[in-house]
Structure 1
Amino acid sequence: MEDLWKSVLAELEVEVSKPVFLTFFKPTTLVSIEKSIATISASTQITAEYIERRYYSLIKKILDRKTKENLSLVFSSETKRAREKNESGPLFARDVKNVLSKKRPTRIRQDYTFDSLAVSESNQLAFTGALEVAKNPGVKYNPLFLYGTVGVGKTHLMNAVANMLFDEDNETTVLYLTTEEFTNEVVEAIRDKTTTQLRKKFRNVDVLLLDDIQFLGGKERVQEELFHTFNTLIDKGGQIILSSDKPPQEIRKIEKRLASRFEGGLSIDIQPPDFELRTAILLIKSQKYGLTLDVETAKIAAEKIEDTRALEGFLLKLASYLSTREDKTITEKIISLLLGKVRSETKIIHPDNIIEAVCNYFNIKPTQIKGVKRDAYLVRPRHICMYLLKEDARLTYVEIGNLLGGRDHTTVMHGVEKVGKILSDSQNANEEIMLIKRKIKEDLLQ
C-alpha cells in the first residue's frame, strides 16, 4: 500500500505546483483499498476536504490506472480517524442503530446541507425546488435540472438533497457522478463487455445525481445508455437530478428524445451570488474553518471576490494564515493583506469568454470554431482556442474536446502542443496570444 501511494505521489508531484504538493499532498497516506473504495488520509479535515474538492478526478485517474480498478475515493483526516478510534468501544456500549446503519454515500459531502447554504433571490427558487425534491423524491420535479455558471451552488444543492434523504432514511441509495465519470464507466463497460453489471449499478439506485451534463454532447452511445437508465429510474419512482452550465435546449449534439426528458421536469437557472449573498456565504462558511468573522470584515472580502469557490479559497487562506499566529483576531488589515494576494481576476475565466475572444480576434463565428471544417483559416484559431482553454481555463483535454464539437482528446492534445511549440519560436505568435488574453481580461472587468 505504501509503495502504491508513493508512486501516486510521484505522478501528482509532476501534475501540481511545488507549494501545493508540499503543503497538501506530501503528508497524505493511503489507508486502505477495500471493496473498490480507496481511503486517503490527510493531516487535517480542512486539507482532506480541499484535496477532495480540487483533485478528486486527478487522484482517481492515477489510482484506477495503477490498480486496474474503478475506485471510489473517501478522504479523511488523522484527527477524525483518531477521534473515531477513541469513540469506539464494546459493541454493547454503542448505539445499535448507528452500528447497523449504512455509511453515507461516497462523494457526498456531509457539510453540504440545506442549512449550510446561504439563500437570496439569486438562488431562492433552486433552493425551494431542491428542498421539495428531498421531501418528496420521485414525485415532483423529476428530473430536477439545475443550471448556471461555475460556483453558484449547483453541486451544493445536489449534495444537500442526498444528505437530507440519507439522514431521514439511510437505506436510500444515492449515486453521484460527474458526466465525465459516467462516460468513462460506459466506455470501459463496453470495452470489457461488462455492460450488464454497469446497468445494475446505475439503475438499482433511488437517486441519481449527474453533474456537468453539458459534456454529454456528441457521445451517442453514452446518451443511449443514459436514456434507458433515465426511463428505468423514472418508471420505478427514482429521482434524477442533473446540473449543467446551460439550459437543456442549449446543450449541443443531444438526442431529441433525451433533451425532451431533461425538459420534462423542473429546470432552474441559478444566478451568480449578489453582494449580500456573498457576505452571507463568508459568514456561514467561516464557521466551518473555526473562524470568528464579523459582518464588516466579511463585507470587505465580499466586495472584492465575486466567485463562490474563490470565497471558500479565501477562507482557507485566512485559516492557514491565522494558524501561524498566536493572536487569532481577524482585523480589516489582515483581510486587506490577504485580498492583495488574491488574483485580481477573481472572476472565473469561463470557457465561453475564451471562445468569444478568439472568434472576435479572427473574425469568425463560434459555430465555425466548433464545426467540422478544417480550412486553414479555421484550424489556427481552433488550436489557439484549445491552448488557451488548457492554459487559462485549466480544462482537461477531454473537456476541451467536448466543448469544441466533441473532438477526441488526442486531437486537442496535438493542437495545444503545436501552439506551445510555435510560441517558443515566434515572437509574433506570442504577441497575438497576449492581445487575445488582454481582451479576455478586459471583458471580465466590464
Structure 2
Amino acid sequence: MDVWGNILSSMSARLDPSTLNLLKGVEKAEYRNGKLYISTPDRVYKDWLENNLLDEIKSSASSLFGENLKVFVLSQEEEEEITISEPVQKIESKPYRLTNLNPRFVFSNFIVGNCNKIAYSACMSVAENLGKIYNPLFIYGGIGLGKTHLLHATAHYVLSKNPDANIIYTTADTFMSELVYYMQNGSILEFRRRYRDVDLLLIDDVQFLEGKERTQIELYHIFNALHLIGKQVILSSDTPPRNLKGLQERLKSRFISGLVVEVKAPDLQTKISIISKKSRDLGIKLPTDVVLLIAKTINTNIRELEGSLSRLKAYSEILGRPVTFEMARDVLKDILEIKEVEELSIEKIQQVVSNHFGVNINELLGNSRKKKVATARQIAMYLSRYLTDRSLNEISKAFKKKDHSTVINAIEKVEKGMEKDRKFKLTVEFLKEKIMSL
C-alpha cells in the first residue's frame, strides 16, 4: 500500500497545488502498529512540515489508520540515529475506515426544530436499521444548515453500536481526487474494493459531481454494488436530485429511489435554541435581548450564528466586560441584517399583551381585578421576566406595583395555568412568539 500517496490523495481537495507539490518532498511514510513515521530529507523540511501541516496530515492519516494514530516526523539525520525495531503490520488486512468524523457532530448536539426534524428522524432511523430502510437517504438544503452534522452523527451512532463497522465519510471532491489518483497509478481495482467493502457510505456535497462523467460512472457502479448487498448509502447536496444538472439520469434515479428529505433554514425558535446551546458551550453569558437580536437578524445559516457568538466572546474577554445589547449591536454591525432592531422593552411587551386582550394600558397598569385584565397583567409580567433581563424590582416598578411580590405571584399563577390549561398555554406561547418576532 502506498501510505504517503493515500494521505496526499485524502488531503488533495483541501490544499493548494503548490503545497501539494512541496509535500512530494517526503521521501517515504511507513505505518507500524498505530504509529506513522514520515521521512523528510533534512531538518529544515521537517520543521516546515511540523509547523504548518502536521495537524492536516494527522487528520487525513487518522481516517486511514484509526483515530489513536501517533505521527512522527523524522529528518534523514534522525533516521540514521535510531532503529525502528517494531514488526511491520500488513495494512491490507485491516478494514478501511475512512471516517474523518468531527467528534462534536453527534445527535445529542443537534438542535431539532421544525426546519430539520424530518431529516433528523430519518437519520436516526437509518442508524438504527442500517441498510434496511431509506436506502439511499438523500439530504438536501442550503449551506451551513446541518447536513454534514447529520451525516457525521449517523456515523458516530453506528460506530457506538458496532465499533467494527466499516464506514467511509467523504466529500464528492475527495472522492473525485481519490479516483484520479488511483487511475493514474493503475490501481482502480483497489479504489473499487475500498468503496465497496463498507457497511455505510456517506458522501457530502454531491452537487460537485455535476459534469464529472468518469466519476459518476464509478459512483453508479459502487452504489449498485452496495445497494445489492444491503449496505447503506447517505448523500447530501445543496439542491434536490432533480435539480442536479450535468448528472446522469440513471444516477439521479438511484438518488431518488430511497428517501429524499430537506433541511430548511431554522425558524426563530430553533435559532434561539441553537444560540442558547452554543453560548453555553462557549462559556459566554448572553442576555435575553442579545439572544433575540442575533436570532432575529441573522437569516443566513447556523455557521453565521456560531461565528457571531465566537466574535462576541472574544470582544467580551478583550474588553473585560459582559456582553450587552449595545455591545452586540456594535460588534456585529457588519454581519447582522439590522434595520431598526430595538432592545426588547417591558413597555413593548405590555402593549402587545394589552392589544391581544383588548385591555387599555391604564387598566393593565392599574389595580382592576376583572378576570380579563388580571390575566393580561399576569401574562405581561411573566413575559417581562422571561423575555428581558430586568430584575423583579424593575418589573414591579414598570407595572406600578409597590414591591416585587406581586410579580412573583403572577409568574407562579401563569406557570401553573400553563400546566393545567392547554388553551391558556397556547395563548402564552403565541404571545411569546409574537413579541420575539417583533
- Give the equivalent residue in structure 2 for 1:134: 127
**Residue 255 (structure 1) aligned with residue 248 (structure 2):** yes
The AA in structure 2 aligned to 1:258 is L
- Give the equivalent residue in structure 2 for 1:392: none
- Give the equivalent residue in structure 1 for 2:174: 181
So what's the TM-score if we normalise by structure 1? Answer: 0.56
- Give the equivalent residue in structure 2 for 1:278: 271
Query: What is the alpha-carbon distance in structure 1 between the residues aligned to residue 160 and residue 236 of structure 2?
Result: 23
User: Tell me, what secondary structure is at the counterpart of 1:115?
Assistant: helix
- Give the equivalent residue in structure 2 for 1:66: 22
User: Tell me, what secondary structure is at the counterpart of 1:58?
Assistant: coil
Superimposed CA distance per residue, residues 27-82 of structure 1 (whole angstroms, 9 cap, x where no aligned partner): xxxxxx989559xxxxxxxxxxxxxxxx994347665433349986529xxxxxxx
Q: 1:67 to 1:201 in 2, by over 3 A?
A: farther
Query: What is the alpha-carbon distance in structure 2 between the residues aligned to residue 103 and residue 220 of structure 1?
Result: 26
Kindly indicate whether the alpha-carbon contact (under 8 Å) linking 1:37 and 1:73 is maintained by their aligned counterparts in 2.
Answer: no
Same amino acid, percent of matched pairs: 32
Q: CA deviation at 1:326?
A: 3.8
Query: What is the alpha-carbon distance in structure 2 between the residues aligned to residue 199 and residue 345 of structure 1?
Result: 51
- Give the equivalent residue in structure 2 for 1:199: 192
Unaligned runs of 5+ in 2: 30-55, 61-69, 71-94, 340-438
Q: CA deviation at 1:290?
A: 2.1
1:171 to 157, 164, 169: 164
Q: 1:414-425 maps to which residues of 2 (within 5 A)? A: none
Q: CA deviation at 1:191?
A: 2.0
User: Tell me, what secondary structure is at the counterpart of 1:254?
Assistant: coil
The AA in structure 1 aligned to 2:124 is L
Query: What is the alpha-carbon distance in structure 2 between the residues aligned to residue 316 and residue 160 of structure 1?
Result: 23
Kindly indicate whether the alpha-carbon contact (under 8 Å) linking 1:278 and 1:306 is maintained by their aligned counterparts in 2.
Answer: no
Query: What is the alpha-carbon distance in structure 2 between the residues aligned to residue 294 and residue 127 of structure 1?
Result: 29
1:322 to 313, 316, 321: 316
Query: What is the alpha-carbon distance in structure 1 between the residues aligned to residue 288 and residue 111 of structure 2?
Result: 14
Q: 1:261 to 1:172 in 2, by over 3 A?
A: same
CA-based RMSD: 3.4
- Give the equivalent residue in structure 1 for 2:137: 144
Query: What is the alpha-carbon distance in structure 2 between the residues aligned to residue 278 and residue 245 of structure 1?
Result: 20
Query: What is the alpha-carbon distance in structure 2 between the residues aligned to residue 195 and residue 218 of structure 1?
Result: 21
Query: What is the alpha-carbon distance in structure 2 between the residues aligned to residue 335 and residue 345 of structure 1?
Result: 11
Kindly indicate whether the alpha-carbon contact (under 8 Å) linking 2:216 and 2:248 is maintained by their aligned counterparts in 1.
Answer: yes
Kindly indicate whether the alpha-carbon contact (under 8 Å) linking 2:106 and 2:156 is maintained by their aligned counterparts in 1.
Answer: yes
- Give the equivalent residue in structure 1 for 2:286: 293
Kindly indicate whether the alpha-carbon contact (under 8 Å) linking 1:104 and 1:166 is maintained by their aligned counterparts in 2.
Answer: no
Kindly indicate whether the alpha-carbon contact (under 8 Å) linking 1:134 and 1:162 is maintained by their aligned counterparts in 2.
Answer: yes
The AA in structure 2 aligned to 1:214 is Q
Q: 1:60 to 1:230 in 2, by over 3 A?
A: farther
So what's the TM-score if we normalise by structure 2? Answer: 0.56
2:324 to 321, 328, 331: 331
**Residue 312 (structure 1) aligned with residue 306 (structure 2):** yes
Query: What is the alpha-carbon distance in structure 1 between the residues aligned to residue 153 and residue 189 of structure 2?
Result: 30
Kindly indicate whether the alpha-carbon contact (under 8 Å) linking 2:298 and 2:336 is maintained by their aligned counterparts in 1.
Answer: no
Query: What is the alpha-carbon distance in structure 1 between the residues aligned to residue 312 and residue 141 of structure 2?
Result: 28
Unaligned runs of 5+ in 1: 1-32, 39-54, 76-83, 85-101, 347-446
**Residue 154 (structure 1) aligned with residue 139 (structure 2):** no
* Rg comparison, structure with higher value: 2
- Give the equivalent residue in structure 2 for 1:109: 102
